[in-house]
Structure 1
């Protein structure tokens, strides 16, 4: 199975230390949900190819090196002189991350139709996050997904600050879910993603089931923070796996790493949804014990699952 991961690669600026009222130290970490998933899939031993737009600037070279060092292939990546997208990260007292994006005119949103490859029916295309819903790239990504023969998974990974209009955000997400469901693909969101999209904090699994049926998805996965994860099938059946108790350093990359762990197992055996969810949850638990998005190896996930 060849995994092709499509979407943004960006720089997360993370606070380290305030030196004075005039000066502070920050670390520039390689990030972006799809980049994190590509790195995680590669570290889990999967044949992984990153389909994103990478700048020739210093940050772009850092992102390319990060992907390559994890074992992700760059043969499908697009090289551009556009400046690299940046996100300023804030962490609350529990290590939960929020993001302020600087993206106008940058790498991840200037897709052109000719930059997308033709994928085969036995490829797996994974995509998501802001690189799929921000114009001018949104319509080209949507058209690419509508035309591909590959199996598709879509991580909604909602970032309200990038498109505050809830109705417009949901409309674009819906277009993408319809494209993903064309071949019976999979969607994933957090409970917080769903609550924001529908402006309702009631049971997110009810919405997941409705969308799975409406858009023809084979599964809609909902991550539930410390309460674990559930997958809802279009007939309403729910498969649930509990969360793992770990000492959280921060949650950066947790959802992206979950999806990599899940896909690495699900692609091998689609009949074992529970096992794939458990593998994803274990991978996400490990990354939460580390500062920044530092996904585990397959051996590390195996060890946690065996413990």
Structure 2
């Protein structure tokens, strides 16, 4: 299976040691949820292209080199003179990450229809995160995805700091649910994402009930919900839920956890769609591995296989 992953690539500014009240030290890490998923797929041995707008500035060159170093294809990349988007990362005492985004006028969200090339027919299109909801190009990407001929998935990856209004967030996500249903695609979300969107849609904040209801309403083939340290659940219309528990780990941080989960799940599910429990297990373990490391550093196929054996 060939994958095309579309969305933002940016730089995470991750704090290091506080040096003084005048100066502090930060790591500028290549990041962005969709890019992390593309990296995860490539490290697991899949044929993957990243579809994104990347700046020609120094940060953009870093991102482009990171993609190339991980053997992610560049056929759908667009280089721009707009600056690179930034995310300032805060880590709580448990290592859970939160983000403050700076992307007004930056490269990620300025897509024009003429810049987008159709993925090869039959390839798997995955669209994720802020690209789904940030104007002006979210509508351009929506129409582009609507015309895709092949399997499709989305990861909603809700960012309330970008759009705090739940109803407005739901208004922007709902058309993507409609397109995903047209493709009988795969929805991936966290339990927190679903609670936020359910409240925006005027529903009870029960994440699994929301996922099942939307799957039935829009026609998804599958809804996958991550539960943080408690694992993940897969739901299909008319069938019982499939649940896989989480892994016990020494947490470094959660940066890239959901994105790595998505990459590992897509790889396993595309190769063996009948084994949902096995796909969930691989994704949960891959996510656990990245949580044991600092930053979004998805495992290789050999690392994942070794962990699964153990």
Q: 2:237 — aligned with what? A: 234
Residue 173 of structure 2 aligns to a residue whose secondary structure is helix
Q: Could you tell me how far 1:121 is from its partner in structure 2?
A: 3.4
How many residues get paired? 307
Q: 2:108 — aligned with what? A: 108
Whether the 8 Å CA contact 1:209–1:236 is kept in 2: the answer is no
Q: Cα deviation per residue 1:144-169 (whole Å; 9 max; x = unaligned)?
A: 11111121110000001111121111
CA–CA separation in structure 2 for the residues paired with 1:201 and 1:223 = 18
Q: Cα deviation per residue 1:227-274 (whole Å; 9 max; x = unaligned)?
A: 100011122521111111111100000000001111111111111111
Q: 1:13 — aligned with what? A: 13
Q: Cα deviation per residue 1:251-306 (whole Å; 9 max; x = unaligned)?
A: 00000000111111111111111111111111100000000000000111111111
CA–CA separation in structure 1 for the residues paired with 2:131 and 2:183 = 21
Q: Does 1:144 align with 2:147?
A: no
Residue 271 of structure 2 aligns to a residue whose secondary structure is coil
Q: Does 1:304 align with 2:304?
A: no
Q: 2:228 — aligned with what? A: 225
Residues 194-213 of structure 1 aligned to structure 2 (within 5 Å): 194-199=194-199, 202-213=205-216
Q: Does 1:124 align with 2:127?
A: no
Whether the 8 Å CA contact 1:210–1:234 is kept in 2: the answer is no
Q: Which moved more, 1:171-180 or 1:30-39?
A: 171-180
Q: Any gaps of 5 or more consecutive residues in structure 1? A: none
Q: 1:265 — aligned with what? A: 268
Whether the 8 Å CA contact 2:196–2:205 is kept in 1: the answer is no
Q: Any gaps of 5 or more consecutive residues in structure 2? A: none
CA–CA separation in structure 1 for the residues paired with 2:49 and 2:249 = 31
Whether the 8 Å CA contact 1:125–1:152 is kept in 2: the answer is yes
CA–CA separation in structure 2 for the residues paired with 1:202 and 1:110 = 33
Q: Does 1:159 align with 2:162?
A: no
Residue 24 of structure 1 aligns to a residue whose secondary structure is coil
Whether the 8 Å CA contact 2:7–2:35 is kept in 1: the answer is yes
Whether the 8 Å CA contact 1:15–1:26 is kept in 2: the answer is yes
CA–CA separation in structure 2 for the residues paired with 1:304 and 1:174 = 37
CA–CA separation in structure 1 for the residues paired with 2:294 and 2:239 = 37
Residues 55-134 of structure 1 aligned to structure 2 (within 5 Å): 55-134=55-134
CA–CA separation in structure 1 for the residues paired with 2:130 and 2:183 = 22
Q: Could you tell me how far 1:115 is from its partner in structure 2?
A: 1.5
CA–CA separation in structure 1 for the residues paired with 2:16 and 2:40 = 24
CA–CA separation in structure 1 for the residues paired with 2:17 and 2:111 = 36
Query: What is the TM-score of this pair, normalised by structure 1?
Result: 0.98
Which residue of 252, 255, 270 maps to 1:252? 255
Q: Could you tell me how far 1:198 is from its partner in structure 2?
A: 2.1
Whether the 8 Å CA contact 1:85–1:107 is kept in 2: the answer is yes
Residue 245 of structure 1 aligns to a residue whose secondary structure is coil
Residue 261 of structure 1 aligns to a residue whose secondary structure is helix
Q: Could you tell me how far 1:203 is from its partner in structure 2?
A: 3.2
CA–CA separation in structure 2 for the residues paired with 1:281 and 1:70 = 22
Q: Could you tell me how far 1:202 is from its partner in structure 2?
A: 4.5
Whether the 8 Å CA contact 1:209–1:235 is kept in 2: the answer is no
